[in-house]
Amino acid sequence: MNNYKFSFSIFIYILSLSCSFNNNLEIEKLVMNELDLVQKSELTIQKITPLETRMENLMGIDIRARFDQSFFYLMDENSKDAIHFFDKNGNYLGSQGQVGEGPGTLQKLDDFLINPDGSIEVLSGIGDRATVYNISGSGELNKVFDTNYLASSFTKLPSGEYLLYGSYNLPFTEFRLVKTDSEGKVISSFLENTYKNKLLPMTERNFFRNGKDLHIIESFQPYVYSFQNDTLEKVIQLDFGSYSIPEYFWQEDIMDSFGKMSETGFANLHGVFEDENLMLVSIHIQKPEGVFKDLVFIDKNTDKVKKISTNRNEEMLYHNPIGIEEGQIMFLTYRSVILKELSKTQLDQIYSQIPEMEFDYPIIFQTKIQFDE
């Protein structure tokens, strides 16, 4: 992968536990070391979509991807300089939300979402304030609201209200999660910020809209939350075993505690994807020898749970899930990874669809997992 902007930078993000929950919902507890391991041969590739790549849309491997019925939307997590969009056949259609200093550009791009009508909204946090913009079909930026809540990620509720996440960023965030009205006025607050030690400003993707369900995850915490009716609910608790966050992390300065954790390794929740039959929980594991992931698959019809393990150095084919669509798990990878990791039999079936181009390019592919014994 020498022809695209390839970065091994690892972003570590910090959030916290909620201060109030609805305890009526039973929490599913998963012990990672006890889950059955799926062989990658049990995942069968159903469809691949190469994404047209040019000089102006070169991206690395840390990509925030969203999609709707018509398009894929990708943002490079390292540069965060624009949102690139493609049709479902992989044709490149241009970019919006560009970062720059000229008119019609953003000073900073933190997060984005896709509205049901296909319009894009972006979050831009500068200084001690954050601004949400709507981007018109012609690419024009229209301010939705300003807020003095310094958010690093956001989502929009069906009511037109917003959830904003601000992390441990004292003194700017007294609460890590707030709900605002359509004009940015805070109307509900969650996750009181009691962390007192010094903390570097960090951001991550916290919100995962899956159909009508909204899931929220927090780095350095083992819970998946559901947000419904102005209430946070724990729905899954994961036991990371020896990779659980040690208690000293919350008591010491991050520069000291993070260094000690890196020597032994630690786990972070990284994503949650779901349809009516299947849930996937993505777990980022930082080990002394590299970056790994465990992907936990939950069959919602049978309650069977399995996992696969990948690592960023040698097994990247299934390293970056981006969603579930019609029962198929969607992954984002690169052509060079497919050439390296697929068996000759599998590669022969799709080789004609991934021709060599000027640049190595991203590919979105869909798979099915077999739960039957």
Residue 97 · residue 85 · CB < 8 Å: no
The confidence score (pLDDT) of residue 15 equals 31
Instruction: Check whether 17 has a pLDDT greater than 70.
Output: no
Query: Residue 339 is encoded by which pair of tokens?
Result: 């050439």
| HSE-up (13 A, CA, CB side) for residue 367 | 23
The model's pTM is 0.89
Q: What's residue 2's pLDDT? A: 41
Looking at the DSSP bridge assignments, the partners of residue 363 are: 50, 333
pLDDT surpassing 60 at residue 63? yes
273 beta partners: 280
More confident of the two residues 251 and 63: 63
User: What stretches of 130-286 show up as alpha helix (H) in DSSP?
Assistant: 254-264
Secondary-structure class of domain 28-369 per CATH: mainly beta
Of 63 and 41, the structure prediction assigns the larger pLDDT to 63
Q: Looking at the DSSP assignment, which residues form a beta bridge with residue 30? A: 238
Q: What pLDDT score was predicted for residue 21?
A: 34
Q: CA-CA distance, 167 to 153, in Å (whole number)?
A: 9
Q: In the structure encoding, which two tokens stand for residue 159, read together?
A: 């009511």
64 φ, ψ (degrees, to nearest 5): -90, 115
* pLDDT tens for each residue of 208-255: 998 889 999 988 889 999 999 899 999 999 999 999 999 988 888 777
Within 10 A of 223 (CB to CB), how many other CB atoms are there? Answer: 19
What is the residue extent of each domain of the chain? 28-369
Give CB contacts under 8 A, 24+ apart, made by 97-102.
97/122, 97/133, 97/135, 97/141
Give residue 9's pLDDT band: very low, low, confident or very high (50, 70, 90). very low
Please give the mean pLDDT across all residues of the chain. Answer: 88
Are the beta carbons of 329 and 368 closer than 8 angstroms?
Answer: yes
> Concatenated DSSP letters for 167-179?
TT-TTT-SEEEEE
> What is the per-residue pLDDT across 295-322, written as a single tens digit (0 to 9) for each?
999 999 998 999 999 998 888 999 999 9
Under 8 Å between Cβ of 330 and 324: yes
CB 329 within 8 A of CB 280: yes
The reported pLDDT for the residue numbered 12 is: 32
Closest listed residue to residue 209, CA positions, set 150, 265, 153? 153
